[in-house]
Amino acid sequence: MSKRDRLSARLNRGEVVYDFIGNRKIWYGISILITITAIVALAVRGLNMGIEFQGGAVFTTPKTEVSVSQAQEFAEEASGHDAIVQQLGDGKLRIQVGGIDTEKSDQIRTELAEELGVTESTIAAELVGPSWGEQIATKAWTGLGVFMILVVLYLAIAFEWRMAIAALVALIHDLTITVGIYSLVGFEVTVGTVIGLLTILGYSLYDTVVVFDSLKEQTKDATKQTRYTYGDLANISINSTLIRSINTTVVALLPVAGLLFIGGGVLGAGMLNDISLSLFVGLAAGAYSSIFIATPLVADLKEREPAMKALRKRVLAKRASAAAKGESVDEPESHEDAVPAAVVGQRGRRGRSTDGRR
């Protein structure tokens, strides 16, 4: 069995416990650095807004031998505006020109037909007004705001307000990174992009709730024991759900990667690029934030409580006393062994044999 196979098997059996909470400052630093980079990219480069948001025309040509660069040059000369040209899978060209009206669109269509050597009737033209894009953007912001409010209310009721705040921070973190990547890459922001952004919120929240549910179970009656601090229990919760998070993220990323690199890159489908990039970046960022941001942030907030501060003092005092006596500090070797006694009692007193022996 290879080393990778052995690691995977140990993760599945719960024999690997990594200190995510103890290294939380590293994760915070990485996230802050990435977020600052995304914000700077947005401020400097901005977003490449599609014609759905700024208005313009889309021309779809029949199959032609003209290259993308030549078609872009022809379109910019005819319109006097910047043009975006994409080659479709069947050899057709999709030419987008922003900021033009109906009269200018007809003129550009005629000149393109002459330059490309095709008849004017074979070039399909679609004119989009900027007001439609404004309506879409307004509805998207409204939907995002309602979604955030409902998420906070649900998590505050189902779990607690600290988890609601942590989940909200993780969602904002994922959105900022995804939008920043769009700015750096220069992909066009279309309606498909908005759909992708709204989709990744649900997936990111799903991953976070899985860890929070485990954390809620692990920390039940946590103050009745002196073996683990709240941070220790949070760390156990992350490790117990780690392999599940990895598996679900990889399975979700594989088809999205196919859309992005094959559908968008090889076949040249513009809409696939728009939605698949936001899904790919958002899914990866969501899996990262649920493990490295949301749960450590809950632990930070929770350990500010007087009861958890007192628990931490008792646990550390017990460990210090054991170390002074030369006794081994009782710490978990796996998350299966790490379930506190109070929680084990709630699960039916696991590990007690019928004949009185361990």
Residue-wise pLDDT for 182-202, tens only, equals 888 877 787 778 888 888 888
Confidence of residue 36 (pLDDT cuts 50, 70, 90): very high
> What residues have CB less than 8 Å from 113, skipping those under 6 apart?
119, 120, 122, 123
Confidence of residue 19 (pLDDT cuts 50, 70, 90): confident
Dist CA 321 CA 358 (whole Å):
27
Output the pLDDT for position 164: 92
Output the pLDDT for position 34: 92
Whole-structure pTM value:
0.74
Dist CA 334 CA 339 (whole Å):
9
> What residues have CB less than 8 Å from 356, skipping those under 6 apart?
none
Residue 200: closest CA among 271, 287, 293, 270: 287
Summary mean pLDDT of the chain: 78
49: β partners: 189
124-128 and 56-60: which strand pairing? antiparallel
Residue 87: closest CA among 63, 109, 108: 63
Q: Looking at per-residue confidence, does 56 or 210 come out higher?
A: 210
Q: Looking at per-residue confidence, does 275 or 216 come out higher?
A: 216
User: Which of 58-62, 305-309, 344-348 shows the highest mean pLDDT?
Assistant: 305-309
267: β partners: none
Whether residue 12 has pLDDT greater than 50: yes
Map out the domains of the chain with their CATH numbers.
Answer: 16-48+132-307 (1.20.1640.10), 56-128 (3.30.70.3400)
Whether residue 204 has pLDDT greater than 50: yes
Contacts 24+ apart (CB under 8 A), 304-308: 307/223, 308/222, 308/223, 308/229, 308/230
Q: Give me the sheet containing 93-98, strands edge to edge.
A: 83-87, 93-98, 56-60, 124-128
Confidence of residue 123 (pLDDT cuts 50, 70, 90): confident
Whether residue 354 has pLDDT greater than 60: no
Residue corresponding to tokens 């489908």: 269
48-49 and 188-189: which strand pairing? parallel
Dist CA 230 CA 131 (whole Å):
52
Output the pLDDT for position 338: 47
Whether residue 3 has pLDDT greater than 70: no
DSSP structure string for 173-238: HHHHHHHHHHHHHT-EE-HHHHHHHHHHHHHHHHHHHHHHHHHHHHTTTGGG-SS--HHHHHHHHH
Q: How far is CA 61 from CA 58, 204, 225, 230, 268, in A?
A: 10, 40, 72, 63, 14
Output the pLDDT for position 272: 67
Q: Looking at per-residue confidence, does 326 or 26 come out higher?
A: 26
